[in-house]
Amino acid sequence: MPLRRATLSAAVESFSLVGMKDLAEAALNAAQVKGASYADVRLDHHVTQDIVVKNGQLAAVSDDASEGFGVRVIVDGAWGFAGSARLDKTEIEPVVDRAIRIARASARVRSARLDLGPPVTSRGRYRTPLERDPFAVPLSEKVDLLLRADAAMGSVKGVTIREGSMEFIRQTKIFASTEGAFTEQELYEAGAGLEATATSPDDVQNRSYPNSFGRHQGSGGYEYITAMELDRHAGRIAEEAVALLSAPQCPSGVKTLILDASQTALQIHESCGHPTELDRVFGMEAAYAGTSFMTPEKLNHLQYGSPKVTITADALTPTGLGTFGWDDEGVPAQRTFLIKDGLFVGYLTSRETASVLGQESNGTMRADGWNRIPLIRMTNVNLEPGDSSLERMIAETRDGVYMETNRSWSIDDKRLNFQFGTQLAYEIVDGKRGRMLKNATYAGITPEFWNSCDAVAGRQEWTVWGLANCGKGQPPQVAHVAHGAAPARFQHVKVGILK
Amino acid sequence: MKSMEVARLTDEAELKQFMTGLLERSPAQQTEVMVTEWDSALTRFANNGIHQNVAERNVSVRVRVVKDGKTGVASINQLNESAATDVLKRAVAIADLQPKSDVVPMPGPAPARAVDAWSDATAVATPEERADFVATVCMKAAAAGLKAFGAFSTSAGQFAIANSLGVFHHQRSTQATVNSVVMGEAGSGYADRGAIDVRELDKDELAAEVIEKAQRNQNAQPVEPGVYEVVLEEYAVAEMLEFMSFMGFSALAAQEERSFMRLGEKITGEEITIWDDGLDRTGLPAAFDFEGVPKQRVDLITGGVASGLVYDMATATRAGRQSTGHGLPAPNTEGPFAVNLFMKPGTQAKAELASGIKRGIWVTRFWYVRIVHPKASIITGMTREGTFLIEDGRITRPVKDLRFTQSILEALQGTEALSRSTKLEIGEFIGASRVPAVRLKAFTFTS
């Protein structure tokens, strides 16, 4: 039965910027009057639409809205923060009072006085470039696409679980500070993904498209979904999931490893993105996410990778989940080098941490909502394209394994010792792709691994991969970040680790 | 000053009136409304000082409607009449716009046993009290020439669920948790605590444990990877149990043939007994689940034999049985979840678990555990903040952290002993586990 054309826009329309500026100014004034030497306020409204189709049925459609404001203050040289879901003037005073009182409590157990460096006075508006507003696309169109893809997966004998999902987000936020910054942003995300699972009495194998972690997500509109061509790839991943059940186990050994672009993206995330977060380096995440082996004395000295490896943090990358106008301290989006020709040259920084190194923030502070403080988060941490290609890398390899699409990931608290697994792998023998392999894993030590990188594919195979599940902080926050990556090759890697 | 910090929660009668009003206005055949409201604060410290200190008040109103065989779900974080109208309208619009699908039935009314999960002391905890607690840990660490890191949180909240079939359940709860890492120049230690009542968190005891562990864990040397006899402290056991719950205890995982559970078969050593009990106050009690079904105790592994699974309304309907009260909020495609886990303790003192081990590894905690193969219950992860070599029955020296890749069931098949004491570990997002420390015959460290 055809679905009626209609949209789900009620929640989208409920938040208006009108009046929000007054609330922001009232909060900043109150904070200053009550003794804050610095204050900022974020007013934020999120709308999220999630759709899940499972085994031929529409399993879930939800439409979630959240709004509120958070006030961050410095009093007596220490931080305080309080937030409330009630966006009205009567709530300003108690929330500011709470933030001030919390800051005074912080000052009782202070280790060092805060320094934010030069003032930030950004002003302006930013809106995610998009062709088609995802909230204006009829639900029927979205569900139809997922059902078509589901049917394609279902036509493959042996597939036991099929799932497809979409997610759309619109975030409207205002940032204002006592230094004079005032920015308005309207950010859009669109994401979708498919997963096919095949089971036997003692095995379970799955394949997903375009990426794992539920979805492939980017900043933009519905055109991002259309470009995925979900229904065209659905049958292929279903066939691969079934074939994996009878595929041989990935052999154990030390081999040449070629990663597809999406797994390369996760490798960048875990072994370069996180260890270059300067708050981790300074111990600010030590009791939770951990610290970093990339300590300040290694800056401009550590040969992190081979000369083939150049990694940037670029908040200007089109379609990246880390693409915006300003970060949540009002610092403009920018592009900066972390690794240049293999040399470790830069960190992801905030105003507070950059000033410790005598630098200015490179604009990476983001909060996952009005009720959280901003933390240093990856923007779009990209491995710059090389001059090879997947085809050439395979042709040049005598004894290797090609691995595609992440299945498991684990790395130690300093970001050195890692082990990843992928959904799919193929052996490479004498320059040719051989048998399909299952349960493929590889492990290594970060600088050894990146120094073994001898080829990166070029721009034509370079894709921006969104990761919408990056956890950090206490209370926990989830950031949406991205990584531009192409297939890459690594030598002498331990593969096939499975008890 | 203190009264200002009392958690601001809506009165239960007012909340019930709000929810009843919303149900009465709904044009759908069936409607469910779930309200979660919380007031929480967290004080974070690093390098012996507070560096982040936050608080929030928030609410979630989630509405599920079933209309003409179609389901719509919407949520909003406001608790007022216009928000109720908006969220109901959006849920109904979603239902109206979709094709007919399988509907997850709503439960009818059933009495839920009241549980006591509230502490006034936690609800009125102040930023100054949190700072004083943190100051003690930091000062003791500094006095020992070490640096303290961690977080101390207190929260108060309420959860209520009602549906048009007559269900109304309400529960208030509080939670206080603290974790700390203490570092020296060449190593670190870890400790955490969690309780309903903040007064049960002893700052001196916590500081003593984490500092002592940090002092013992300096200048660790590498050991060869391989298969070792191990003692896992409660921190590591609780994490392993959480992954068992995630991979295998859900009826959906079993129905989809993804679970390692083979009901009626012996899958671990007979010393292992694991159950879920939301009503036990020695855990983190919850009287009912996110579908409004009263919690039942479920025996999951009894004497090593796989003995039960947890069900929600969807999986119970499919299996032709009753939900056990383990549903998650709608719309839920993940299935039921066991979140109040217990592992039966043994008879040995924890300190004696190493005795008799010729050469083994003592593990304080795991880190970054991930699933490698769910049906084979294989996980990988690292040890962290306190890994020690055991030689001739006693801990001799710290060793560098190790990566393990191990089937949980195979490891538990080699259970040799469990401590008679247990510890409550509160999960990061949901639920808690009360577990002993365990000694296992074989555990595989891969690097």
Interface ipTM:
0.94
**In B181-231, alpha helices (H):** 203-216
Contact B380 A110 (CB under 8 A): no
Which CATH number is A163's domain given?
3.30.2290.10
**Domains recognised in chain B with CATH numbers:** 2-216 (3.30.2290.10), 226-445 (no CATH)
Residues of A in contact with B130 (CB under 8 A): 105
Token pair, residue A208, equals 């997903």
User: Which residue range forms the structural domain that includes residue A299?
Assistant: 253-495
CA-wise closest residue to B202 among B192, B188, B214, B190 = B192
CA dist A252 and B329 (Å) reads: 42
Please indicate, yes or no, if residue A1 is contained in any of the structural domains. Answer: no
Give me the mean pLDDT over the B287-304 stretch: 98
CA dist B230 and B387 (Å) reads: 10
Contact B368 A86 (CB under 8 A): no
Q: What confidence tens digit (pLDDT) does each residue in B209-249 have?
A: 999 999 999 999 999 999 999 999 999 999 999 999 999 99
Q: What is the model's pLDDT at position B167?
A: 98
CA dist A98 and A89 (Å) reads: 15
Q: What is the model's pLDDT at position B5?
A: 58
Q: What is the model's pLDDT at position A470?
A: 95
Contact B131 A413 (CB under 8 A): no
Inform me whether the C-beta atom of residue A245 falls under 8 Å from chain B C-beta atoms. no
CA-wise closest residue to B415 among B368, B318, B348, B358 = B348
State the residue for tokens 């610092």: A331
DSSP string computed for B100-139: --PPPPPP------------HHHHT--HHHHHHHHHHHHH
- Of chain B residues 337-366, which have a CB less than 8 A from chain A? none
A276 residue type, one letter? T
Q: What is the model's pLDDT at position B330?
A: 93
Q: What is the model's pLDDT at position A2?
A: 30
- What is the share, in percent, of chain B residues with pLDDT greater than 70? 98
Inform me whether the C-beta atom of residue B204 falls under 8 Å from chain A C-beta atoms. no
B436 residue type, one letter? P
Alpha-carbon Rg for chain B in angstroms? 24
pTM here? 0.94
Three-class DSSP category at A86: coil
Please indicate, yes or no, if residue A258 is contained in any of the structural domains. Answer: yes
Where b means 16+ CB within 10 Å and e means fewer, A118-127 reads eebebeeebe
Give me the mean pLDDT over the A380-403 stretch: 98
Contact B407 A499 (CB under 8 A): yes
Please indicate, yes or no, if residue A3 is contained in any of the structural domains. Answer: no
Where b means 16+ CB within 10 Å and e means fewer, A27-55 reads bbebbeebebebbbbbbbbbbbbbbbbbb
Residues of B in contact with A10 (CB under 8 A): 86, 89-90, 93
CA-wise closest residue to B326 among B282, B292, B377 = B292
Considering the domain architecture, whether residues A321 and A186 belong to the same structural domain is answered as no
Please indicate, yes or no, if residue A332 is contained in any of the structural domains. Answer: yes
Considering the domain architecture, whether residues A238 and A260 belong to the same structural domain is answered as no
SS percent in chain A: helix, strand, coil, step 5: 25, 40, 35
State which residue of chain A sits closest to B46, comparing Cα positions.
Answer: A284
Token pair, residue B82, equals 């216009």
Contact B53 A85 (CB under 8 A): no
Question: Which band of pLDDT confidence, cut at 50, 70 and 90, is reported for residue B366?
Answer: very high
Pairing of strands B226-232, B359-373: parallel
Query: Are A286 and A294 spatial neighbours (Cβ–Cβ below 8 Å)?
Result: no
Give me the mean pLDDT over the A23-28 stretch: 96
Token pair, residue A193, equals 């993904």
Considering the domain architecture, whether residues A293 and A345 belong to the same structural domain is answered as yes
State the residue for tokens 């056990």: B324
Give me the mean pLDDT over the A395-409 stretch: 97
Q: Pick the last residue of a domain from A245, A270, A297.
A: A245
CA dist B368 and A478 (Å) reads: 16
Considering the domain architecture, whether residues A232 and A263 belong to the same structural domain is answered as no
Q: What angle do CA B113, B300, B317 make, to 5 degrees?
A: 70
CA-wise closest residue to A198 among A239, A247, A142, A236 = A239
Question: Which band of pLDDT confidence, cut at 50, 70 and 90, is reported for residue B102?
Answer: confident
Q: What confidence tens digit (pLDDT) does each residue in B141-197 have?
A: 999 999 999 999 999 999 999 999 999 999 999 999 999 999 999 999 999 999 999
- Of chain B residues 375-434, which have a CB less than 8 A from chain A? 375-376, 378, 380-382, 384, 401, 403, 405-407, 410, 428-429
In angstroms, what CA-CA distances link A390 with A211, A260, A384, A488, B92?
18, 8, 15, 8, 49
Considering the domain architecture, whether residues A142 and A275 belong to the same structural domain is answered as no
Q: What is the model's pLDDT at position A9?
A: 36
Q: What confidence tens digit (pLDDT) does each residue in B14-71 have?
A: 999 999 999 999 999 999 999 999 999 999 999 999 999 999 999 999 999 999 999 9
Considering the domain architecture, whether residues A414 and A393 belong to the same structural domain is answered as yes
Size of interface A-B (CB pairs under 8 A): 283
Q: How many CB atoms lie within 10 A of CB A188?
A: 21
| pLDDT above 90 (res B430) | no
Three-class DSSP category at A363: coil
Q: What is the model's pLDDT at position A499?
A: 56
Residues in chain A: 499
Token pair, residue B128, equals 């100054």
Q: What is the model's pLDDT at position A18?
A: 62
In angstroms, what CA-CA distances link B32 with A8, A103, A215?
20, 41, 29
- What is the share, in percent, of chain A residues with pLDDT greater than 90? 93
Contact B381 A410 (CB under 8 A): yes
Contact A4 B86 (CB under 8 A): no
Which helix (H) or strand (E) covers residue A30, if one does?
helix A20-33
Query: Are B298 and B308 spatial neighbours (Cβ–Cβ below 8 Å)?
Result: yes
Residues of A in contact with B407 (CB under 8 A): 499
Q: What confidence tens digit (pLDDT) does each residue in A250-301 have?
A: 999 999 999 999 999 999 999 999 999 999 999 999 999 999 999 999 999 9
Cis ω before A475 (30° cut-off from 0): yes
Residues of B in contact with A419 (CB under 8 A): 380, 403, 405, 446-447
Considering the domain architecture, whether residues A237 and A271 belong to the same structural domain is answered as no
| pLDDT above 80 (res A495) | yes
| pLDDT above 70 (res B4) | no
Contact B380 A62 (CB under 8 A): no
Token pair, residue A241, equals 């999931």
Can you name the residues that pair with A71 across neighbouring β-strands?
A: A41, A82
Q: Pick the last residue of a domain from A245, A272, A299.
A: A245
Q: Mean pLDDT lowest for which of A6-10, A239-243, A373-377, B109-113?
A: A6-10
Considering the domain architecture, whether residues A154 and A266 belong to the same structural domain is answered as no
Considering the domain architecture, whether residues A182 and A288 belong to the same structural domain is answered as no
Considering the domain architecture, whether residues A240 and A286 belong to the same structural domain is answered as no
Considering the domain architecture, whether residues A203 and A263 belong to the same structural domain is answered as no
Considering the domain architecture, whether residues A230 and A346 belong to the same structural domain is answered as no
| pLDDT above 70 (res A361) | yes
Residues of B in contact with A66 (CB under 8 A): 76-77
Inform me whether the C-beta atom of residue A105 falls under 8 Å from chain B C-beta atoms. yes
Task: Give the best residue of B3, B36, B97 to mutate against chain A (max A CB count within 10 A).
Answer: B97
| pLDDT above 90 (res A143) | yes
